[in-house]
Amino acid sequence: MRDAILDGEICCPGTDGVSQFNHLLKRKAQPIFYAFDLLWLDGEDIRRLPLIVRKKRLAMLIRSSDCARILYAQHIESAGKQMFAEICSRDLEGIVAKRKLGIYKDDGNGWLKIKNRSYSQAEGRHELLTKRRG
């Protein structure tokens, strides 16, 4: 048995593979979990290991899993500007930049989220999440 704590994001991809925030919020589709970091594995806290080592272990863990609802979030090690331009051209939310030798920091200071300012699904999201339920 494998015991693990993953960091990632739950989303509902549409038929084109693009995450549909409203489908997740309104439970219109089956969610999947994109795992992008591994924090704990089989009783060992591995947050102090370099990201690239944690990602390698994460990839092996997910490959050995039989869960189709957990996917490994790929990464690139160069061409970040070109990647961000492609993300924006496809109307995706943005990218997260991390140092490949960086450790996992609980306060979120070990990474940078770079948002697509033109992302169409961002409009109205804040109101949906902060609206009081009656």
Question: Domain map of the chain by residue range?
Answer: 4-128
Interior/surface letters 110-132, b for 16+ CB within 10 angstroms, e for the rest: eeeeeebeebeeeeeeeeeeeee
Band (111; pLDDT cuts 50, 70, 90): confident
- pLDDT tens digits for 116-132? 999 887 776 666 556 66
Q: What does CATH list as the number for 4-128? A: 3.30.470.30
CA angle at 100 for the pair 94 and 105, rounded to the nearest 5°: 80
pTM of the model: 0.78
d(CA 66, CA 44): 22
Q: What is the pLDDT of residues 28-62, one digit of tens each?
A: 778 889 999 999 999 999 999 999 999 999 999 99
Q: Name the nearest CA neighbour of 9 among 25, 31, 33, 29.
A: 33
